Amino acid sequence: MGKNDLMSIAEASEALGVTQRTLRFYEDKGLIEPKRVGTMRVYSRREMARMQLILRGKQLGFSIREIGEFLSLYDLDPDQVVQARRVIEATQKRLAELRQQREAIEQTIVELEGLEALSKRHIAAHEGRG
């Protein structure tokens, strides 16, 4: 790997659109392992790819524990079949959670629309008496 493949924490945070603190957080959690050159952290293509997977996982609502498990399986399973199975399980669970939330939101919308309509009828009835 050439020198150009390494990034400082400032370069990595800018490239990923996250703060340096975020990078240190995921390092503390053991999800990324930047190398050290003296006291400076340097990020390889591997760490940048792992950070992209972490950020995507967080965006999709997976926990740090789940993301860590995906990354561990990726390292241990060269064919990534076990990882793919685990991703399917976690994805199905997350989809079920989101569908349940959507149903709850839809029900709340229906109830609020009913309350709004009732309130409008009440106002109209009382203004008509004026």
**pTM beyond cutoff 0.85:** no
Quote the tokens at residue 51: 């950070």
Boundaries of every domain in the chain: 1-55, 77-130
Length of the chain equals: 130
User: Residue 130's pLDDT is what?
Assistant: 53
- Does residue 14 have a pLDDT over 50? yes
Fold of 1-55: Multidrug-efflux Transporter Regulator; Chain: A; Domain 2 (1.10.1660)
Per-residue pLDDT reduced to its tens digit, 98-119 = 999 999 999 999 999 999 999 9
Question: For a pLDDT cut of 90, what percent of the chain falls above it?
Answer: 64
Distance CA 12, CA 29 (A): 18
3-state secondary structure of 61: coil
pLDDT band at 1 (very low <50, low <70, confident <90, very high): very low
Read off the amino acid at residue 87. V
Per-residue pLDDT reduced to its tens digit, 21-70 = 999 999 999 999 999 988 889 999 989 999 999 999 999 999 999 999 88
Mean pLDDT across 75-96: 83
In degrees and rounded to multiples of 5, residue 118 shows phi and psi of: -60, -45
User: Residue 44's pLDDT is what?
Assistant: 92
